[in-house]
Amino acid sequence: MNKKTISFAFAALFLLLSVLPVAAMLVLGESGAAANETLSSPPELTGSDGRLNPAVLSETADYIADHFAFRNKLINAWAELNTMVFHTSPEEQVVLGSEGWLYYSSTLDDYMGRGMNETELSRAVQNLALIQEYAESCGAEFLFTIAPNKNSLYPAHMPSFIPPAHDKSNSVRIKPLLASSGVHYCDLFSLLGGRGEVLYYQTDSHWTDRGAALAADALLKGFGMNTAYYAGDFSLPYQHKGDLYEMLFPAGERTEAAQAYSGFTYSVQENPNGGNAMRIDASQDTADGRLVCWRDSFGIALYPYLADSFSESLFFRSSSYDLTEIGSRQADHVLIELVERNLDWLIRYVPIMPAPSREIDLDSAVPADQTVLANSKADSKHELVYLSGELPCYEGGAVYLLSADAAYEALLTERDGKWFYHAYLSPEQSEGIHALCVKLDSAYIRFELHLN
């Protein structure tokens, strides 16, 4: 066989292999998403303006790469090879532990004691304190809790080459700050980790139904209620496929034996996506009290116990908390559950709530030779005005927006090393805002504001 024939055969084989995924998609159908994966949307030939989409070719390539036939099986085979032969995980989101244990890679910063600096932690607690103050002003009791990362409770199966330093993690360092600031906090770490049984799945990043029941009992006790869900009837067996396992082995069939609580009698309104729903509205005829709860994926297993314990309960799966729902629902209990790995969300996302008014002594304020820009936007849904902007300096402490006769404390967020202030005010309050005041230790620095 001459070189020309070999070259032609190689080119034909390459072309065949290139076309095969598309042809197989047409015949066998597309591959679906695995676990929490988000796949590319179908490409659009034209944009919303009717013009040719210049990115149509790259979008087509992305779509084929995400949907070609046998994709999940090929990924699965590659993962099997890596885990069995090289004892490594080819999926960057999954850490391969020993004896079949899997861990979420986004928890490594907490596990290794790397995370938020002291200013960020302090500000996160100050934001929580403002949230609690607002909830209490609405007549509701507030409670905050952290859902532990799995390797914070069960580190024994973590790879030995990853150094543990959880004593320096965000969750450990924030605890005394919460206590000193008076934020009502329910500590689940010692509770969940101190049991003889394992309360998290081996192949999932979350707690089991029994783990959620134990957490629910503790949270409800924090509200002055006595429940015994953890000691209840878990007689409904089922097979659970872990989210980490699905990420690593999208075509795998391994499951874990699990048990579900069998005594729920609450009911829900429209709930098209189960525990994953962004909003769950529940009621229980035999209970008392009204709960509003913001939760994350740990709330999927947690919310049924809470829904079963209040006459009315509303659950939001959102990183930004619309706290005006507290008053709208006339809630008497407010809960925020946040997983340990996402504690920095407290300084990443802005809760919607009216800024509290303050009385401060500005006689010692030092005027700054600098003007700060403020963006103003009407929030018609809440009948508020949203003011925000970048802070020229920040080392901790409170930040206020000033009018002629009032001061309003702002919420703060951080992004890329820069700090930003945020305040929701009534239209009347916003009209007189003309300055911003940053508290540094016992002194104040006053900046003139320029509204955009």
* Per-residue confidence band for 34, with pLDDT thresholds at 50, 70 and 90: low
> Around Cβ 137, how many Cβ atoms within 10 Å?
13
Reduced to 3 states (helix: H, G, I; strand: E, B; else coil), residue 6 is helix
* Per-residue confidence band for 120, with pLDDT thresholds at 50, 70 and 90: very high
Whole-angstrom Cα distance, residue 164 to residue 206? Answer: 20
| The dihedral sign for the CA sequence 65, 70, 76, 81 | negative
Instruction: State which CATH number among 1.10.1740, 2.40.128, 3.40.50, 2.60.40 fits the domain covering 357-451.
Output: 2.60.40
Q: Do 412 and 421 meet the contact criterion of CB atoms below 8 Å apart? A: yes
pLDDT value for 194? 85
pLDDT of 77 > 80? The answer is no
Mean pLDDT of 68-87: 68
Residues 270, 271, 273, 278, Cα dihedral to 10°: 90
In the chain, domain spans: 114-244+253-347, 357-451
Q: What share of the chain is helix, strand, coil (3-state, %, to 5)?
A: 35, 25, 40
Nearest C-alpha neighbor of 214 from the set 236, 238, 198: 198
Least confident of 142-151, 235-244, 246-255: 246-255
Reduced to 3 states (helix: H, G, I; strand: E, B; else coil), residue 189 is helix
DSSP element (H, E) containing 446: strand 443-451
pTM metric for this prediction: 0.86
Residues 219-235 as b/e (b if ≥16 CB within 10 A, e otherwise) read bbebbeeebebbebebe
Helix 3-28 vs helix 56-67: crossing angle, to nearest 10: 80
Residue-wise pLDDT tens digits, 231-240: 999 999 999 9
Residue-wise pLDDT tens digits, 255-296: 999 999 999 999 998 776 778 899 999 999 999 999 999 999
pLDDT of 65 > 80? The answer is no
pLDDT value for 46? 74
More confident residue, 388 or 404: 388
Least confident of 55-59, 146-150, 332-336: 55-59
Least confident of 71-75, 196-200, 255-259, 413-417: 71-75
DSSP-assigned letter for residue 254 = -
Whole-angstrom Cα distance, residue 449 to residue 435? Answer: 5
pLDDT value for 10? 58
pLDDT value for 364? 74
Least confident of 103-107, 371-375, 384-388: 371-375
> Around Cβ 265, how many Cβ atoms within 10 Å?
10
* Per-residue confidence band for 14, with pLDDT thresholds at 50, 70 and 90: low
> Around Cβ 205, how many Cβ atoms within 10 Å?
25
Name the percent of the chain lying above pLDDT 70.
83
pLDDT value for 52? 76
Least confident of 46-50, 278-282, 298-302: 46-50
Least confident of 52-61, 182-191, 266-275: 52-61
pLDDT value for 429? 94
pLDDT value for 272? 61
User: In this structure, what token pair is assigned to residue 185?
Assistant: 């906090």
| The dihedral sign for the CA sequence 267, 269, 274, 276 | negative
* Per-residue confidence band for 341, with pLDDT thresholds at 50, 70 and 90: very high
Reduced to 3 states (helix: H, G, I; strand: E, B; else coil), residue 241 is coil
Distance between first and last Cα of the chain: 75
